[in-house]
Amino acid sequence: MAVSSRFSIRCQVKSISLPCRSHPSTVRIEQELNVAKTNAVTAKPSAETICGGLSQLMELYRLMDDLLNSSAAKGLIARQQDMKFVEDLVDESMKFLDVCGGIREMVSQMKEHIRDLQCALRRRKGELSSEKCVTTYNCFRKKMKKDVKALIASLKQVDNNMTIVDSDDHHLAAVIKAVIGVSEMTVSGFESLLSFFSMPISKPNRLSLVVSKLIHKGMVACEDQQEQGVFNEFDCIDAALQTLCKNESSSTQFDKMQTAKCRLERLEFQLECMETKLECMFRHLIRNRATLLNIISQVCLLPTNPPRKMAAASKFSIKCQTKSISTSHHSSNPRTAQRDQNNNSQAICSGLVRMTGLQ
């Protein structure tokens, strides 16, 4: 899946300048982004490539966390007058957590249905039970398709936001570009994963009938079609289950049942691997959100920053005590007013950290 850039930075170009040395993490992030984008375009849709994409995404977040926690990056962001791009990233981090959580729930439910199908196929003379489980599985796939559309719509909202930053600092531009590049790749990776889940073969269509016919006649193995990128794991499972529900001879039915069992066992293993990757990805997203909130909290504590940055920070945290802050501004003693203002700022920033649950 191609990644469309939504990053724009207005950087003053000097007539005479030397190439500036970028932070090592920004260079690594750029390299990893190039590899990930190439793989997103050339890789064939399968559970293996999805897990590989999640591993690449986790590595990008590890590098981004190192970058944002470096003193150099913190200093650059602290000197930036407009913090809107950080605020946008905080908003996006919440949406990414929601989407990742939704995908994890889908994988968990899918595993339950796969295990129910396996149990039904293991029972003797359990044709009626098997048909019931297949029907339940198909209903779940239809519901999952609707959930996938809702999550993709949420990702589209993130992808449509254009971030524009005015800066004449090339180092800051490199940091922002790297961070937003990771955000774009997160959208692309989650969209690929959701598209992989939403293959609609719950109803017989032309493609599913072709697959069923090929499997039934033994003309071609489904694995060969997977290697060519024609079908994915869900395609083969759906086709095997459809042919299993047909009334045929006992020997033919036994062969189909064995084929379905093998496909279900393989898919269950792949879903477990995917579930582990998503759990790690979820932790990376939480850590990234905590880092962004901490950056805002540290910036709002700087004495040189105007009150508007404190107001921007409070939007993501807790309800500040406006009455107390207002009283401190009107105090006749300047030292008392400054002390009260600092105390309220610290309370706001403590709330920012508590929101992440990582304090």
Low-confidence ranges of the chain (pLDDT < 70): 1-23, 81-82, 124-129, 159-169, 199-231, 245-251, 253, 300-359
pLDDT score, position 246: 66
* pLDDT value of position 230: 47
- Domains identified in the chain, total number: 1
Distance CA 305, CA 300 (A): 7
Neighbouring CB atoms inside 10 A of 314's CB total: 22
User: Are 231 and 47 contacting, i.e. CB atoms less than 8 angstroms apart?
Assistant: no
185: in domain: yes
Does residue 331 sit within a domain? no
pLDDT of res. 322: 37
Domain with 233 in it: 23-316
Domain presence at residue 344: no
Number of other CB atoms surrounding residue 242 within 10 Å: 21
pLDDT at 92: 92
Query: Is there a domain that residue 97 lies in?
Result: yes
pLDDT value of position 304: 52
Question: pLDDT at position 288, please?
Answer: 94
Q: Is there a domain that residue 213 lies in?
A: yes
Quick: pLDDT tens for 149-170.
Answer: 999 999 988 866 655 565 566 7
DSSP label at residue 304: T
Rounded Cα distance between 338 and 340, Å, is 6
Averaged confidence pLDDT in the chain: 73
- The two three-digit tokens of residue 316, written as one number: 């993501």
Output the CA torsion sign for 308, 312, 314, 319: positive
User: d(Cα 10, Cα 246) in Å, to the nearest integer?
Assistant: 64
Please report whether residue 8 resides in a domain. Answer: no
For residues 30 and 63, is the Cβ–Cβ distance under 8 A?
no
Residue 219 tokens read as: 């003309």
Any domain includes 2: no
Residue 54: both structure tokens together: 């999640």
d(CA 146, CA 314): 35
Residues 74-133: tens digit of each pLDDT: 888 877 766 778 888 889 999 999 999 999 999 999 999 999 888 888 775 555 567 788
- Residue 250, both tokens: 């006992």
Whether 10 is in a domain gets the answer: no
